[in-house]
Structure 1
Amino acid sequence: MRRRVFLEIGGAAGLASLAGCLSAGSPSPEVEPGPPWRRDGEVYHTGHDGGMEMIGFAQSGSLTVGLSYAFPTQFWTVAGSRRNRIDLTDRNDAVHIMASVWDTDTETVFPIASGLRVSVERDGSSPIQKALWPMLSQKMGFHFGDNFTLEEWGEHTITVDIGSPSLQKRGGLQGSFEGIDSVSFEYNFQLSKRNYNISGTEKINKRGTHAAVPPMQMSRHPLSFAPRPSEIPGRLLGRATSGDADFLVFADDSSLVVSPRTPFNRFVLPLMSLSARIERDGQTVTEGSLTPTIDPSRDYHYRRPIDGVETGDTITISIDAPPQTARHAGYESAFLEMSDVTITV
């Protein structure tokens, strides 16, 4: 009988069998086009809560890089509003390497549109080099990742080249993250450790529900949580939903501030293109694009200077491009088809 395996973040429904498939000399597993319980246009709870293992932490200037790995996994890339499934078809895929970058003092996680470049090398052999995808997962929120082959298991040197984020920095982050830095890690990848230490747990009873796998809890590793409404400075003007994402709209000093986040886990949704229009008494007061911005009190958000808002004003936020991030299972059908959101002050 031919066994069917559904691949999800960090692993698969039958890890012992899949581990055998991925070992040298074994056939590749059959990869499904997507779990049958996927909810079109919405976030859904996956059938497997995948595990992960920390490789380590390294500092460069004001930044900290956290590096981890999981079982190789299927994921989806995004270009515009189109997604492309990256199947796990190479039986030599050994690990899914994940990296996060944050400001050491404030623990603010930095999204970088261009991704991070990673080199994996063993004993001076030809390095495996990739630009990691900016990604969203239900356990980690925003991070960078990709599947990697390994010529053999054992000690490896992993070098992470950090680019510079193309977004406005405010508050305590002004002047940080200048130039291009790199950090290195030494790690002993072991097949047995990958197969049995990061297996995760099945979540059959919850799979397909309009919910999410809980975020991971790991010391020293901050996640890209958006602040709660009460934590964001300024006046909350309203909130709305589009593409299953939550949008909070604020008036902050002399700016309009928009904070999109995932439902359930409250992760920021970066790398979007947003524009806004404010209408008063049937006339447009201001309109134009919003600037991606990051600061410790608002985390990743979008803003535009305004002269102020008044009671009765109508604010329309247009999603000109959804989050240009790859997605792990559970997020791949959400945050793509996103209609305008409108609130009345």
Structure 2
Amino acid sequence: MRRRDFLRGVGAAGAAGLAGCAGLVRTRAANVPPVIENRPNAVYVPSHVEAMKVSGVASAGAYRCALTYSFPHRFWTVSIDRTERVSIREDDAVHLMPVVWHAETGVVPVTTNPKIEISEGGETVTSLSPWPMLSQPMGYHFGDNVELPGDGTYDVTVRTGAISAATDALAADAATFEFEFDYARETVRDIEFTTYPDEQGSTGAVPPMEMETVPTSQVPKPDALPGRPLGAATSGDAVFVATAMEDATPFGGTAEETYLAVSARTPYNRFVLPMMSLSATLERDGETVFEGSLSTALHSELDYHYGASVPSVDAGDVVRLAVDVPPQVARHEGYETAFFDVPPVEIA
């Protein structure tokens, strides 16, 4: 199911809440809970999650962009299989997050690589390239903590690169989105966050945000993927759903070939797991039909996925998947220990 329901009423800016939160709601004035000790090497319930606000929505061609923000918070960057915590700095004003999506389908492309320039009175205040990130309430997005000199109205320009690896109408050239951002310390300080004192550290996840104006990076449910379903498997908390499309032409193959597509997602919330190196082996009657790396691609029905053109996929074939490099995205709390130890998995 596509996400057009999220797109109704786009243009109204406001706060984004969380569904089903049973924790204690506080404000930024309260102390942020410390990092949980003895965290599992899996997806776990964080100590807290932050609400966010939408400053505005702009359009460029087939895409829209929402400038969203929350109060500064800690996160972890990833380098191959190592993480490094980024702590909140004293002068950090907001955590700024531009969210770009395809207006018709609601697909949130992974490959926009936005660049942000913030100015005031024609003078540049700061410029940055935000991190690609995973958050339990928000899913995949770009974000970073930003310093600002004080209260005021800032001009924010978000420039995105061409939508690469797109196979259909999702393809687009580079785009520019313009915003006015009214920043006030008091407004940011009063953004709510929810704590989970009883559930924190246990395996599981908090629910996704309910956002009236902005879609999330949830990928389609397994039965909503196009093609012939091959099955699903879980390894290291990463969920892999495979499907076969008989005509590989849209993906650079031939009409006689089959396109083997693998959708990788988080457990619980079905958020896309991007920017990993994934390889596959297709075996038939003990013989190898295909062996190699899967390329990343973006498709309006498959969303972001990994795939390859193969001679065919027949009943009784076995697909073996191996994660050669884990997802190279920064993580918010609850994801920073997961998706690193992912043993090979088999889909029969």
Q: Same fold (TM over 0.5)?
A: yes
1:151 equivalent among 142, 149, 163: 149
1:272 equivalent among 273, 276, 280: 276
Contact (CA 8 Å) 2:44, 2:205: kept in 1 or not? Answer: yes
The amino acid across from 1:116 in the alignment is P
Q: Distance in 2 between matches of 1:282 and 1:201?
A: 52
What SS does structure 2 have at the residue aligned with 1:185?
Answer: strand
The amino acid across from 1:307 in the alignment is P
User: Runs of 5+ in structure 1 lacking a partner?
Assistant: 1-11, 19-28
The amino acid across from 1:177 in the alignment is A
Q: Distance in 1 between matches of 2:168 and 2:114?
A: 24
1:306 equivalent among 305, 310, 320: 310
Where does residue 178 of structure 2 map in the other structure? 184
Distance apart, 1:201 and its partner CA = 1.9
Where does residue 92 of structure 2 map in the other structure? 93
Q: Distance in 1 between matches of 2:333 and 2:318?
A: 36
What SS does structure 1 have at the residue aligned with 2:169?
Answer: helix
**Number of residue pairs matched?**
313
Q: Distance in 1 between matches of 2:136 and 2:130?
A: 18
Q: Distance in 1 between matches of 2:326 and 2:177?
A: 31
Where does residue 36 of structure 1 map in the other structure? 37
Distance apart, 1:164 and its partner CA = 2.1
Q: Distance in 2 between matches of 1:233 and 1:181?
A: 29
Contact (CA 8 Å) 1:112, 1:134: kept in 2 or not? Answer: no
Contact (CA 8 Å) 1:37, 1:207: kept in 2 or not? Answer: no
Distance apart, 1:13 and its partner CA = 7.6
Where does residue 101 of structure 2 map in the other structure? 102
Matched, 1:219 2:219: no
Q: Distance in 1 between matches of 2:105 and 2:219?
A: 14
CA shift in 2, pair 1:212/1:47, >3 Å? same
Deviation string for 1:232-258 (max 9, x for gaps)?
Answer: 112221211122111111122111110
Distance apart, 1:104 and its partner CA = 1.1
Distance apart, 1:158 and its partner CA = 0.9
The amino acid across from 1:305 in the alignment is S
Where does residue 3 of structure 1 map in the other structure? none
Deviation string for 1:289-310 (max 9, x for gaps)?
Answer: 1111111211111111112122
Deviation string for 1:68-108 (max 9, x for gaps)?
Answer: 101101111112222221122x2001100011111111111
CA shift in 2, pair 1:13/1:320, >3 Å? farther
Q: Distance in 2 between matches of 1:126 and 1:230?
A: 48
Where does residue 49 of structure 2 map in the other structure? 49
Distance apart, 1:170 and its partner CA = 2.5
Where does residue 65 of structure 2 map in the other structure? 65
Where does residue 7 of structure 1 map in the other structure? none
Contact (CA 8 Å) 1:76, 1:85: kept in 2 or not? Answer: yes
The amino acid across from 1:332 in the alignment is E
User: Runs of 5+ in structure 2 lacking a partner?
Assistant: 1-24, 247-257
The amino acid across from 1:218 in the alignment is M
Matches within 5 A, 1:1-345: 15-18=28-31, 34-36=35-37, 38-40=39-41, 42-88=42-88, 90-112=89-111, 115-167=113-165, 169-173=166-170, 176-178=171-173, 180-196=174-190, 198-253=191-246, 254-344=258-348
Percent identical: 40
The amino acid across from 2:121 in the alignment is D
Deviation string for 1:270-295 (max 9, x for gaps)?
Answer: 11211111122222111111111111
RMSD between aligned residues = 1.8
What SS does structure 2 have at the residue aligned with 1:16?
Answer: coil
Q: Distance in 1 between matches of 2:276 and 2:57?
A: 29
Where does residue 21 of structure 1 map in the other structure? none
Q: Distance in 1 between matches of 2:95 and 2:201?
A: 24
Q: Distance in 2 between matches of 1:272 and 1:165?
A: 18
Q: Distance in 2 between matches of 1:205 and 1:17?
A: 18
Q: Distance in 2 between matches of 1:62 and 1:237?
A: 32
Distance apart, 1:311 and its partner CA = 2.9
Q: Distance in 2 between matches of 1:13 and 1:77?
A: 27
